[in-house]
Amino acid sequence: MPRVDFPPCKERLADGTEVLLRLIEPTDGPLLLELFNVLSPESIYNRFLTPVKEVQPEHLRRFVEIDHWTEVAVAACLCEAGRWRIVGVGRYHLGPGPHEAEVAVLVGDPWQCRGIGGLLLKKVSGLARSQGVRRFVSTVDPCNMKLLRFAQFYGYKTTRRFDDGLIRLEAELDG
């Protein structure tokens, strides 16, 4: 599998706002912490499937030390009040099956429903395809209606229900 090659690029949201998409870097810890601090408990639960009150330094390290080979993470950044902040992250890691990757998208509550999650999902789908991935899978809470609408729009189907109440979503990556 080749390491992904992704030079930073700018995209526009439907409302005209410019978003910078780039790979997560090892120095992004403070920007990710800032993003975490504006997340609602609901968004935190929906992303991590457990309540998280505080990000431990080892977790933060885990989020920024990405090899961009077996695991890829893309940050969506907005320039607000003269400085760039990370407002969302799309990531995947290869597996569990061949040509599969587990995907997760997170957008900070103040910036949700503006198209940023969709931008991130499209970007990581393209990167995954370039690595030979054909299917994205994700384990989600069935009460996460926003995610389910979002996922349905992007062609995800429920494939399994687990005993712990979580569901498995899968989507074939086109092209």
Residues that bind ligand COA (CB under 6 A): 43, 46-47, 104-107, 112-118, 138, 140, 144, 146-147, 149-150, 153
Residue nearest to ligand COA (CB): 117
Is 3 or 9 the residue whose CB approaches ligand COA more closely? 9
- DSSP 8-state class, residue 27: G
Is 107 or 131 the residue whose CB approaches ligand COA more closely? 107
Min CB(84)–ligand COA separation in Å: 18
- Give the separation between CA 51 and CA 118, rounded to whole angstroms: 25
Is 22 or 114 the residue whose CB approaches ligand COA more closely? 114
Min CB(144)–ligand COA separation in Å: 5
Min CB(138)–ligand COA separation in Å: 5
Residues 6+ apart with CB under 8 A from 19: 10, 11, 12, 13, 76, 77, 78, 87, 116, 119
Q: Which of 91, 96, 116, 73 is nearest to 160 (CA)?
A: 96
Is 131 or 136 the residue whose CB approaches ligand COA more closely? 136
127: its two tokens: 């990167």
Q: How many residues does the chain have?
A: 175
Min CB(37)–ligand COA separation in Å: 15
Is 46 or 125 the residue whose CB approaches ligand COA more closely? 46
DSSP three-state, residue 8? coil
Min CB(35)–ligand COA separation in Å: 10
Q: What is the 3-state secondary structure (H, E, C) of 33-81?
A: HHHHCCCCHHHHHHHHCCCCCCCCHHHHHHHHCCCCCCEEEEEEEEEEC
